[in-house]
Amino acid sequence: MTPVLSIQNYTLDYISSAGPVRVLHDISLEIGPGEVLGLVGESGSGKSSLAWALMRHLPENAREVAGSLRLGDIDLQRLSPGELTRIRGRRLGMVFQDPSTSLNPTLTIGRQITEALIQHRGLKQRDASSLAVNLLGHVDLNNPAAIMRRYPHEISGGEKQRVIIATAFGCRPDVILFDEPTTALDVITGARILALFARLRRETGVAALYISHDLALVTRVADRVAVLERGRLVEQAPAADIFRAPRHANTRALVDAVPRPERRLVHDKPGDQVVLAASDIEVRYGSGRLFRDAPPPATKKIGLEVRGGEILGLVGESGSGKSSMARALTGLARFSGKITFDAHEIHRMRDMNAAYRRDVQIIFQHPDASLNPRHRIDEILSRPLKLYGGHLANIPRLLEQVRLPASYANRWPHQLSGGEKQRIAIARAFAARPKLVICDEITAPLDVSVQAQIIELLLALREETGTAFLFITHDLNLIRQIAHRIAVMRRGEMVDLLPVEDFDADHVHPYTRELMAASPVPVG
């Protein structure tokens, strides 16, 4: 059987000021008709470069050193710009990572989808519109005719991704490239998108290259999995086998890094005294106007308490109010309610004194945004030391505490990788010797393997300092590994607050059960 897409001995360099950097070494891959090939690797392993090479949209400084890229019997590297336009979308579709940026915000959904159909399938406007309505209905969007008239900002992230998938499938390409299509979505939405993908694939028999950093997820959607490490293809195996019997060390590391709820990482019991108790916390953004009611509160009278040395998990899909809780507890959002900390009562942002600010630290989701790009690492770390009384000579010790060399003190944030930046953010939080650290989705933008290292680091720091954690995440598998108790939030309400052992029990809230079902538990 001839492959639909074949990559032979493909080698790619990027020319940088320091000379050529090899990003792909001698890659050979084939995708048969109707087959889904999963491509897994950490960030920087070259998986997206391969996708862009196939789409013939490489950056200026890319040099293709050797190899060939063939779509059926077409040599992709030889195509003229005009021929490329006919191939892209028509024979080779692509679905991007972030649905919020892959639709044009100034055009209606209908315009964007019919334009693709008219271009690639040569349909008349009227036929294209009716087909578009069909396609949108087929990806389980309610009231497709209404969606057609809306603008991208008027529909949710999950709906946008459905629109993009509908467009990609609607042009009936031979192969579709998926570049982390669910990474930017929350768990439940992501799970629904995957189910949709599986159904469409059964119906159309399209071949696909599915790129992701999440091995557990890829094994569920792909027939075969290829593992990429620093531009080299280290392993190729059927999806069912790769989890059970990984051959290469890198694959094994990826498999081990996947969080599994049954493998507990924390074994001690938390203390008895309550460190922080919050009750009736309500966060509101914006207030009512003359002709407009106030928007509903982001959190509705939430109460929780954290005990000494405890890890309390807070899970929920995006928009459930988890981050609003973190913002209220750290005085970043106006709230009503009461926080009791160390026998000190707080009713307003103004009540938070220096001692509270020191004892409750927050680590943010995006390490790129939480470190000031114009400050060197030593300046970033020196601020909490200066504010809360500490010695600047401690900076090397802080770096060592998060397993970074002391020489990093002189670097700029942009010279560090995402995981290293997150370590700096952790060091900054721990410089204050806090009693409670709030982690707001701190591992969400990181690779699975980096995530495992960060978790290990946090647990080691907890061992050393006895700090309690409020760990906000949407990854239920991860939080079940480390938390003592888990609170589940939905639409600003707390639906469950259970000890972690009770999660398999029957009395959990239906929503919690739905969340658990949506979290991909690794095959095998």
Partner 1 sequence: MTELFIRLMRKPQGFVGIVLLALIAAACLFGPALAPYAPEKIDFLGRFRAPGWQNWLGADQFGRDILSRLMVGARSTVPLAFIATFVGSAAGATIGVGSAYLGGRTDEAIMRTIDAVMAIPGLLMALLLVSTLGNGAGNAVIAIAVAFAPGMARVTRSAALNVRNQDYVKAAIARGEGAPWIIFREMLPNVMAPIVIESTIRVSFAVMLFATLSFLGVGAQPPASEWGLMVADARQHMHQAPWGLIAPSAAIALTAIAFNLVGDGLRDALNPKDER
Nearer to partner 1, 267 or 289 (CB): 289
Q: Which is nearer to partner 1, 182 or 323 (CB)?
A: 323
Record the tokens describing residue 464, joined without a space: 């050393």
Q: Shortest Cβ distance from residue 468 to partner 1 (Å)? A: 17
Based on the number of CB atoms within 10 Å of its own CB, is 444 exposed (0-12), middle (13-18) or buried (19 or more)?
A: middle
CB-nearer residue toward partner 1: 143 or 372: 372
CA distance 293 to 349: 24
Phi and psi angles of residue 12, each rounded to the nearest 5 degrees, phi first: -135, 135
Separation between Cα atoms, residue 66 and residue 25, nearest integer Å = 9
Q: Which of 251, 347, 195 is nearest to 39 (CA)?
A: 251
For partner 1, give the closer residue by CB, 284 or 357: 357
Q: List the end-to-end C-alpha distance of the chain, in Å, as a whole number.
A: 30
Contact 120, 203 (CB under 8 A): no
Residue given tokens 């060091």 in the structure block? 427
Q: What is the DSSP letter of 320?
A: S
Rounded to the nearest whole angstrom, what is the least distance from the CB of residue 384 to partner 1 in the complex?
Answer: 6
- For the bound state, the minimum distance from the C-beta of residue 478 to partner 1, rounded and expressed in Å, comes to 21
CB of 331 to partner 1, least distance (A): 6
Amino acid residing at 237: A
Residue 337: CB minimum distance to partner 1, A:
18
Distance of CA 188 to the CA centre of its chain: 13
56: tokens are: 């013939």
Q: Are 327 and 405 in contact (CB under 8 A)?
A: no
Q: Cβ 354 to partner 1, closest distance in Å? A: 6
Which of 53, 48, 39 is closest to 11 using CA atoms? 53
Phi first, then psi: what are they for 101, rounded to 5°? Answer: -110, -5
Nearer to partner 1, 258 or 432 (CB): 432
CB 522 within 8 A of CB 251: no
Q: Which is nearer to partner 1, 90 or 357 (CB)?
A: 357
Question: What DSSP letter does each residue of 222-238 carry, written as one string?
Answer: -SEEEEEETTEEEEEEE
Instruction: Say how many CA atoms lie within 13 Å of 409 toward its Cβ.
Output: 15
Contact status, residue 148 vs residue 137, Cβ threshold 8 Å: no
Minimum CB distance to partner 1, residue 348 (Å): 15
CB of 412 to partner 1, least distance (A): 4
* Cβ-based nearer residue to partner 1, 383 or 491: 383
Q: How far is the CB of 19 from partner 1 (least distance, A)?
A: 13
Residue that the structure tokens 């509903």 belong to: 296
Q: Which two tokens stand for residue 512?
A: 């919690």
- Residue with smaller CB distance to partner 1, 369 or 517: 369
Compute the least distance from the CB of residue 286 to partner 1, in Å. Answer: 11
CB of 118 vs partner 1, minimal distance in Å: 37
**Nearest CB to partner 1, comparing residues 365 and 467:** 365
Minimum Å gap between C-beta 410 and partner 1 is 12
Q: How many other CB atoms are found less than 10 A from the CB of residue 418?
A: 16
Q: Is the Cβ of residue 373 or residue 510 nearer to partner 1 in the bound state?
A: 373
Number of neighbours of residue 26 by Cβ within 10 angstroms? 15
d(Cα 330, Cα 316) in Å, to the nearest integer?
Answer: 20
CA dist 462 → 116, 269, 309, 457 (Å): 53, 13, 7, 9
DSSP 353: -
Please state the closest distance from residue 165 (CB atom) to partner 1, in A. Answer: 31
Q: Which residue type is seen at 12?
A: L
Q: Which is nearer to partner 1, 17 or 106 (CB)?
A: 17
Nearer Cβ to partner 1 (163/399): 399
Residues that bind partner 1 (CB under 8 A): 17, 330-332, 352, 354, 357-358, 361-362, 364-366, 369-375, 383-384, 387, 412, 414, 425, 428, 432
Closest among 476, 371, 482 to 423, alpha carbons compared: 371
Quote the CA–CA distance of 319 and 321 in Å, as a whole number. Answer: 5
Six token digits for residue 510: 């239906």
In the complex with partner 1, which residue's Cβ is closer, 149 or 347? 347
